[in-house]
Amino acid sequence: MIKENIENILKDLPPGVKIVAAAKERSVDEIREAISSGIKIIGENYINEARSKFEVIGKEVKWHFIGHLQKNKAKYAATIFNVVETLDSLELAEVLDRECWKINKIMPVFLEINSASEPQKQGILIEEAEGFLDKILRFKHLKPSGLMTMGPFSDNPEELRPFFKKTKNLFDKIKLNYGNILEWKYLSMGMSFSYQIAIEEGANIVRIGAAVFGPRKQKI
């Protein structure tokens, strides 16, 4: 089923769009099947879960952190992940930069954008993004490379389109203003139910869980 799901996604995926297989609560066997079916990037939301999987799978695949990163887990993120997609505060940037310095690593990071300005959600407001970027440019071991957004919760993926569009506009504005000093490449938007809309609005990374792995097993 995982192989068939991935084949169906890949055949309709435009050139240049990368899939991050969102593997929260998925087993090592499920992840291995996804990798053997063409997945090259695994996304994890929780550090402890990622650590246990990384111990088994290791560098067979790239790892993206796509959840809320707590400062006290930054040292593990620095070791395991190839990209942190959810940089959302100066305090986290300081800690992550220090942990990457300790292991002589340059970490690509995406700014997490709160595109719907929801007070209960993590992320940087669109109007504050360039000011935030200016502050993190001083960190020598972080490499700002793009934006990530969730958008508001909705059962209708079409309702997310304006928030994806706003984030793409911000992405383009930053590319125009900072393109001479940054390798500004990646726009991570869209999940299983909304990734097609996100791609239409300019995403080149999509974070897909259920559409790759199938529905999660219900917890008893």
- What is the set of domains in the chain, with CATH numbers? 2-213 (3.20.20.10)
CB contact at 8 A, 42 and 33: no
pTM: 0.96
Q: According to the model, what pLDDT value does residue 216 have?
A: 77
Say what the pLDDT of residue 107 is. 98
CB 147 within 8 A of CB 167: yes
Contact at 8 Å (CB) between 85 and 124?
A: no
- pLDDT at position 22: 98
DSSP state of 179: T
Q: Dig out the tokens for 97 from the structure.
A: 């930069």
Query: Hey, what are 151's tokens?
Result: 């958008």
In Å, what is the CA distance from 7 to each residue of 3, 133, 170? 6, 37, 32
Cα(121)–Cα(153) distance, rounded to whole angstroms? 11
Residue that has been written with the tokens 């309709």 in this structure? 12
pLDDT of residue 219: 54
Residues of the chain with pLDDT under 70: 218-220
